[in-house]
Amino acid sequence: MTDQISRRRAIGAAGVALAATGIGAARAQAQTAAQPCGDTLAKVKAAGTLLAGVRNDFPPIGSIDTGGKPVGFGPDLAEAFAKKLGVKAEFVPTTSRTRIPLLQNGSIDCEFGITTPTTEREKTVDFSIPYVWDAVAIIIKDGASRKVVDYAPPKKVATTQGSYIIDLFKQHISNPEIVLFQEYPDAVQALRNGKVDGVGVNRASSVAYVRKGSGLQMSEDMVRDPWSIMMRPNDSNWRNWINHTLQELWREGTYKALWEKHMGEAPDFYMFSPYMLQPGIK
Amino acid sequence: MVMRWAVIWDYREALWSGLRLTVEITLLTIGGALLLGTLIGCLRQLPSYFLGRAVLAYVEVIRNIPSVVKVFFLYFVAGFDALPAAVIGLSLHQSGYISDVLDAGFRSIPREQSEAAWACGHSRLQIFVHVLLPQVWAIVLPALASQLIEIVKNSAAAMLLGIKELTFQTQNIDVETFRGFEAATTVTLIYLALALSIAGIMTMLERRMLWR
Amino acid sequence: MAVRGSAFGPVEPTACDRWLWRAVVGGMLLAGVVLLRHERWDVVIASGPFLLKSLGVSWLLTLAAIGIGLPVGILLALLRTGGPTPVKQIAVGVIEVVRATPQLMVIFWVFFAVPALSGQKVPAWTAAIISLSLIAASYLAEVMRAGILSVPSIQIESGLATGMTRAQIMSSIVLPQALRNMVPALIATVIMLFKITSLIYVVGITDFFRAVILINNREFEPIALYTTLAVGYFVCCWLLSLCVRQLDPKYVLAH
């Protein structure tokens, strides 16, 4: 009996403790000033390592081979960047949930993933110029309708939790029934088992799922979707260096070669603008 | 990052629907696990070597595989829908433990009672139903309470299948507003309240049983 | 396994019983092999090294969590049994809150709380180990408390009578016996933590569970891969639970 009474009081004490941590943390945070200017470029040169965030769940942009090593367009591009700086590239796996926290806590210096530069995200991180222009479409079974509007309820569409594809669904389908998974492989497996009727995904990664004989195909495009390299805010040196190096790699032909290696075709977009590179890029 | 607890108020609808789903999954799993666990716990008491070993093997297999693996297997390989897969997987998982709890309860009843009833000429079935079963419920209630709280905790695994229960909603609040800490703290308190209510109900049941 | 007990008394297996059981187990294994022989096991074998490495990651996380959780758990247990009342309440509060919360929720909470409270951002590995250690510490605190309470109080009273201080009694009489008594429970907690590491999936660390899912993403062979996943976990946990049963046959694994 005494055990129970003290248990109840103890849990009350715990609740108070939790609230107190909340208030105490609020006070601590109120004293934190705005983020200072970082200098990632100097840090990377000094450390001799470029910490590059890459996806390992999104072929062909980023996946792992049987040995567990990161492979794909993202890691290859990161290697090219590191070579330009004369440092080693070290890969850190990111997911849609961890990419921003990992950037903020310094585990990665930049992310070569599938992050779309939305204004909402720009409140916490900075983006380079778009480094991939992709498209978002729905993976569907062979023989199903390729028109996006046909996937209104009772059909179900899926994507990952937190993806901005959720908003795209709401823009293109009236009252969509969206099922959210933690990872894309789970969503595609659900499609194959008939649990959902389509998986909203980027066309670049659909290459891995929609192979000949897989029984899956792509619907029409919903939107052309830019991806940018993500980096910490208030770091102009780093951002400028990344933007310039990206365009230099384009001018040298390295970018196009890597793209064709992983996507099987030439890119149908241009760096910096559809007409020309940034004035001043050598 | 400054704290903004007002965000939780904005998401009260989402948290409420998440709570409803969590309670639904929990209640369904409690029903399934109790049924299955009791059945297996009773089967174990039959004086058959074969059944005893079979039940032991079942419990070992169920216990040594994590609940998420079972739930994933049911959904992605066996092809059940999300809610059935979660409920069946979690019921299977907890039934192993509940049958163990019942077994311990049966074993703690002094054997003299069964032997005395046997000497009076009752059949095995009569002994089981009239002597053992009524006592075992009073004995196992505390252990059963902790198993029910385990069911509440394991219901969080359903979020991996896309079921929008409480833990899923926490994640949702974080990806939409970056207020993960406030959301997680609030939801932890909600889970605490759930666990406390189950403990309270079981204590009440215990007291009513003792009064008999 | 000698004699199985039931509510009606010990069951003596005959030789016929034993052979029937072995035949059934053998038959089921054979059926499993026959049904599954067409699955793409070559995928599993090709990814073998990667799977083993990620299994090692799961074990590393488990052992790190136990390594940190054990001293913290012992501390919490000592505070709970012998500390001044407000400290006792806080210790009880922490233990009960962590034990009553879903483990998935604890992982998420730590993942959000550590950067929010400390003002600094910490990597996913650190957050994972902190959350697993927190879970380990709270369960081990209860195990430890049971161990401490299992030492007969007459020993404590004798110690007090001979003029030893509480600290001396704790360190030289109670703790050594308690630690020895709690070894089966400790191993059971290790098994439990190993299963919980499968939840680290959500944080993005490549443990055994996530590794299988990543390979499935590329190869699409869920039957072979998920079976390997289940068998892998089963073998690891079962072997450990056999150790527990060797040490203490009467121990009922509560988790």
Summarised one tens digit per residue, pLDDT across range B31-63 is 999 999 999 988 888 877 888 888 888 998 998
Q: Is the confidence at residue A212, as pLDDT, over 70?
A: no
- Long-range contacts at C38-42 (CB < 8 A, ≥ 24 apart): C39/C221, C39/C223, C39/C224, C39/C227, C40/C219, C40/C221, C40/C224, C41/C224
pLDDT, residue C219, reads 73
Q: Cα–Cα distance between A57 and C213 in angstroms, integer? A: 9
State the total domains in chain C.
Answer: 1
Using pLDDT thresholds of 50, 70 and 90, give the confidence band for residue B22: very high
Domains and CATH numbers, chain B: 6-211 (1.10.3720.10)
Q: Closest by alpha carbon to A80, among A236, A259, A266, A233?
A: A259
Q: Is the confidence at residue C96, as pLDDT, over 60?
A: yes
Q: Which CATH architecture has domain A135-224?
A: 3-Layer(aba) Sandwich (3.40)
Using pLDDT thresholds of 50, 70 and 90, give the confidence band for residue B176: confident
What DSSP state is assigned to residue B212? -
pLDDT, residue B147, reads 92
* Out of A91-105, A167-181, A254-268, C109-123, least confident range: C109-123
* Out of A7-11, A195-199, B81-85, C93-97, least confident range: A7-11
Whether chain B has a CB inside 8 Å of the CB on C59: the answer is: no
Please give, rounded to a whole number of angstroms, the shortest distance from the CA of C138 to a CA of chain B. Answer: 15
Task: Report which of residues C209 and C5 the model is more confident about.
Answer: C209
What DSSP state is assigned to residue B155? G
Q: Cα–Cα distance between B69 and A144 in angstroms, integer? A: 32
Q: Is the confidence at residue B4, as pLDDT, over 80?
A: no
Element (H or E) spanning C192, and its range? helix C183-196
pLDDT, residue C166, reads 79
Q: Within a domain: residue C34?
A: no
Using pLDDT thresholds of 50, 70 and 90, give the confidence band for residue A100: confident
The half-sphere exposure of B42 on its side-chain side, counting CA atoms within 13 A, is: 15
Q: Within a domain: residue C50?
A: yes
Please give, rounded to a whole number of angstroms, the shortest distance from the CA of A14 to a CA of chain C. Answer: 5
pLDDT tens for C221-232 read: 888 889 899 999
Written as one letter, the residue type at A164 is Y
The answer to whether A40-134+226-263 and A135-224 have equal CATH topology is yes
Whether chain A has a CB inside 8 Å of the CB on C120: the answer is: yes
Interface test with B, best of C1, C3, C6 (most B CBs within 10 A): C6
pLDDT, residue B87, reads 95
Task: Give every CB contact of residue B188 below 8 A, 6+ residues apart in sequence.
Answer: A18, C97, C101, C105, C106, C109
∠ Cα C236 C240 C241 (to 5°): 115
Q: Closest by alpha carbon to C195, among B97, B161, B188?
A: B97
User: What is the model's pTM?
Assistant: 0.77
**What tokens does A29 get?**
């945070």
Q: Is the confidence at residue A4, as pLDDT, over 60?
A: no
pLDDT tens for C3-35 read: 455 656 666 777 777 888 888 888 988 988 888
Write down the domain spans for chain A.
40-134+226-263, 135-224
- For chain A, the average pLDDT equals 82
B121: left (phi over 0), alpha (psi -120 to 50) or beta: left
In Å, how far from its chain's centre is CA C185? 9
**Hey, are the CB atoms on C233 and B69 less than 8 Å from each other?**
yes
Q: Neighbouring chains of A at 3+ CB pairs within 8 Å? A: B, C
Q: Within a domain: residue C254?
A: no
Whether chain A has a CB inside 8 Å of the CB on C119: the answer is: yes
Mean pLDDT of A206-227: 79
What's the count of helices (H) and strands (E) in chain C, helices before strands? 12, 2
Please give the backbone phi and psi of residue A175, each rounded to the nearest 5 degrees, phi first: 50, 55
Using pLDDT thresholds of 50, 70 and 90, give the confidence band for residue B200: very high
Write the CATH number for C200.
Answer: 1.10.3720.10
Using pLDDT thresholds of 50, 70 and 90, give the confidence band for residue B88: very high
pLDDT, residue A13, reads 57
Nearest to C233 among B64, B104, B115 (CB): B64
Q: Within a domain: residue C6?
A: no
**What tokens does B129 get?**
């139903």
**Hey, are the CB atoms on C226 and B114 less than 8 Å from each other?**
no
Task: Report which of residues C98 and C243 the model is more confident about.
Answer: C98
Mean pLDDT of C110-135: 83
- Give residue C200's domain range: 41-247
pLDDT, residue B33, reads 95
Please give, rounded to a whole number of angstroms, the shortest distance from the CA of C235 to a CA of chain A. Answer: 23
Whether chain A has a CB inside 8 Å of the CB on C202: the answer is: yes
- For chain B, the average pLDDT equals 88
**Quick one: fold of A40-134+226-263?**
D-Maltodextrin-Binding Protein; domain 2 (3.40.190)
Burial string for A173-208 (b: 16+ CB within 10 Å, else e) reads: beebbbbbbbbbbbbbbbbbbebbbbbbbbbbbbbb
pLDDT tens for B115-152 read: 888 888 888 788 888 888 888 888 888 889 989 999 99
Task: Give every CB contact of residue A46 below 8 A, 6+ residues apart in sequence.
Answer: none
- Chain C, 146 to 175: residues with Cβ < 8 Å from chain B are none
Element (H or E) spanning C128, and its range? helix C124-150
Q: Closest by alpha carbon to C8, among B107, A53, A135?
A: B107
When mean pLDDT is compared over A154-168, B13-27, C174-188, the highest value belongs to B13-27
What DSSP state is assigned to residue C69? H
Using pLDDT thresholds of 50, 70 and 90, give the confidence band for residue A111: very high
- Chain C, 6 to 45: residues with Cβ < 8 Å from chain A are none
